[in-house]
Each structure stands twice: as structure tokens, then as C-alpha cells.
A = this chain, B = another copy of it.
Amino acid sequence: MITVLAGGVGAARLLRGLVRVVDPRDVAVVANVADDLVLHGLNISPDLDTVTYTLGGGDNAETGWGLAGETWQAMDALDRYGGPTWFRLGDRDLATHLHRTGRLAEGAGLAQVTAEIAAAWEIGVRLLPATEDRLRTMVTLGDGTEVGFQEYFVGMRHDVPVAAIRFDGAASARPGPGVLEAITDAETVVIAPSNPLVSVDPILAVPGVSEAVADRRSSTVAVSPIVGGAALKGPADRMLAELGHESSAVGVARHYRDLVGTMVIDVVDADLAPEVEAGGVRCVVTDTVMHTPEVAAALAKVTLEAIA
């Protein structure tokens, strides 16, 4: 069994490659839910949905989020009311949030509802929310104000400096059903090429999770989301620098040092391999920019072999 700690787009792309090289039924995904939000009364779980839509073949390859062929009637109509439309919810995407919200209101847990949605999309892998408890990434901006992650990420297009990050609710959050077992029982644990600070760290912030991963350090491998000093998507590079890390594969390796025995870094960063290894983390160099599912599959294969 392989367990992947996952954020959104980068993780979803790696997973799409992974299920080409291993049986999807042997894959568990522990996904970030600290980006979740309640908007218009709807429970929205962007990372869960990105993984589901991508593995289910419904993803929008152009935008990297949302559904292909989406329509926007509801959002356009919402404009009439001057309501908040900064977080764009497509009409078909809305159905996912309607179902999730309705089921949660009926008393179903997020893990159960996530499994239902995943089954409807026939994604094959087990998709596990990191926690069913409330966990929220809060971002302190340069001017000292604190905002929710999506307000920073979508509302402000992550175009502002970040002074601090915290995970509200982490102290009392419990790992979601199956999460610790998935990490403990896995042959290989993979940390996907997601933003370390706001996609992976909130998973690790759930009490018990980072300990479980650290216990599997020699079987844990991370794929660097930083290539040539830059994030392929999103603000991970700036965020790392702003929060005192080195914005490089070396910085990522240092950040994960206690958790991963192996790092996979991109060929453009090959010269950084000795520095990664000097930090006590084995380093494997390969193509990590997943332009196509084929590249993603090759990356997944190399990543698994790095441990095996």
C-alpha cells in the first residue's frame, strides 16, 4: 500500500501518474482540509475536490481547478445581489458542495461523505480527509491582519506578503478515520509536491500525524514542489522566503528533514543534490514537471523506486 499526503493541484497530478503505475486500490490519499471554507452556507473542500475531479477525469486542465466544461449561471446571478463572488463556484461544482453540505447536515462525517463523492467519480484510490474536525489555515499578512486561507489565496490572488501562518483548531483536531493506519501500514509514504507550508504542514499539524510519518521516515519520500527556486503554481516560493526558509529544493528538504528519508528533486536542481544529502536526506533527481500524465507516471515510478 502507498499513502500520499496531498494538497491540491500538484498532488492531484502526481496521483494521476501514480494510478498508472500501481493499482489505485493500493493507494490511500490523506488530503489537506485546512483550506476548506463555508461560503453561502456551503461546505467547500477545495483540495478534496481537486483530487477527486482530477482522478475522476473531470478536471479543467486549463485552469487547474474546477471542472471541465463548467458553466457559471449561479455566480453570474449572484452578482445581482452584490454577494461575495470572489470564490467562483461553477454550477456543476456546486452540486458537490450541495451534496457534501446536505450529508454533513444529516450527520454523516466528512470521511464518509468524501468516500461517497469519490465513489461517484470512481477515483479508485481511498481519499481520506486529514481530519474531520475544524482545522483552518489562517494567514497573517504583512500589515498584521489575519485572514482565512482562501481570502488570501483566491480573494487576494496570493499577491500580498505573508508574515505568519497558523492552523486554527490544530491543537484539538483528531486524525480522520483511517489516517494514522494509512501512514503506519503503508509500504511507502509519499509527500506530494504541494505547498509545504499551507498544504502539507496542516496535515502534519493534526496531533499524531507528524509522529506517525516520522516513525516511517526511512519509507517516506517527498517530491519537491520547488523547481529551479520557483513554485510551479501558487505562492510556495515567496511564502517559503517570507517565512524564513530557503526557496529551493534544499529549503524543502530541510523543512521535511525529520519526516522524510528521501527527496525527489528536479533535474534542473541536480546541483543541489549534494546539499540535500548533506542535510541527511537521500536525494533522487528526475523530471518532476508534470506536463503530461506520462511524465507524472514516470515521476511516480521513480518516487516509489527511490524507497524500494
Q: Which residues of A contact B (CB under 8 A)?
A: 38-43, 71, 73-78, 80-84, 90-96, 98-99, 101-105, 116-117, 120-121
Contact = CB atoms under 8 A, between A and B. Distances in A.
28 contacts: A38-B105, A39-B102, A40-B42, A40-B98, A40-B102, A40-B105, A41-B41, A41-B42, A41-B43, A41-B101, A41-B102, A41-B105, A71-B73, A73-B73, A73-B91, A73-B95, A76-B95, A77-B91, A77-B92, A77-B96, A78-B98, A78-B99, A81-B99, A81-B116, A83-B99, A83-B102, A83-B103, A84-B102
A76 B98 CA distance: 12
A71 B43 CA distance: 23
A285 B78 CA distance: 43
Contacts of A98: 40-42, 74, 78, 83
A78 B95 contact: yes
Given A40-B101, A71-B71, A73-B73, A95 B81 contact: yes
A53 B38 CA distance: 27
Contacts of A76: 92, 95
B101 A74 contact: no
A41 B96 CA distance: 12
Contacts of A104: 41
A286 to B, nearest CB: 36
Nearest to A113: B81
B74 A94 contact: yes
Given A74-B98, A76-B95, A77-B93, 7 more contacts: A40-B101, A42-B42, A77-B95, A77-B96, A81-B96, A84-B102, A91-B94
A77 B102 CA distance: 15
B120 A91 contact: no
A73 B80 CA distance: 19
A90 B73 CA distance: 9
Contacts of A82: 120
Nearest to A119: B81
Nearest to A78: B95
Nearest to A84: B102
A52 to B, nearest CB: 11
Contacts of A80: 95, 120-121
A300 B100 CA distance: 45
Give the 10 A-B CB pairs with smallest separation, nearest first: A41-B101, A77-B95, A73-B91, A40-B98, A77-B92, A78-B95, A40-B102, A81-B99, A91-B91, A74-B94
A105 B81 CA distance: 16
Contacts of A95: 73-78, 80-81, 83
